[in-house]
Amino acid sequence: MNDFEVMADNIGKYVMEKYVKPYLALSVSYYRATVVQGAAGGKITVCRPADNPVALPYVTSAAGLQAGDQCVVLQLGSSSNCIVLGDGMLSNL
């Protein structure tokens, strides 16, 4: 890595920590995901494209989701604070 790449990398890390992460912690977002495994042990395992599967808690109305179904996941702040809301149609919520 040359000096310019090192400097750009350090600036990127600084900006992310100082300016981006504090706002992300306060954000609310949602995304669609595919169910990998239905309800088991109080969690549903979902996966977004090009991402690793993750087991998340769910609302009672999502208990019937099966592997292969689309679902909506609500994310409050960080990716460790998510819940599966229901099927992949926002109009059904």
β-bridge partners, 78: none
The domain spanning residue 70 has which CATH number?
2.40.50.230
Domain contains 21: no
In a domain, 59, yes or no: yes
Query: Per-residue pLDDT tens for 23-71?
Result: 777 788 889 999 999 999 999 999 999 899 999 999 988 999 999 999 9
Q: Is residue 8 part of a domain?
A: no
What is the greatest pairwise CA distance in the chain? 54
CB 56 within 8 A of CB 33: no
User: Is 76 inside any structural domain?
Assistant: yes
* Residue 84 belongs to domain spanning: 28-92
91 pLDDT band, cuts 50/70/90, is low
pLDDT digits (tens, 9 = 90+) for 73-84: 999 887 788 999
* pLDDT of 93 strictly over 60: no
Asked whether residue 6 is domain-assigned, the answer is no
pTM: 0.71
- Cα dihedral 47→57→60→40 (10° resolution): 80
Residue 34 lies in a domain: yes
> Is 5 part of any domain?
no
pLDDT value, residue 22: 80
Per-residue pLDDT, 92: 55
DSSP classification of residue 19: I
Q: State the total domains in the chain.
A: 1
End-to-end CA distance of the chain: 49
In a domain, 44, yes or no: yes
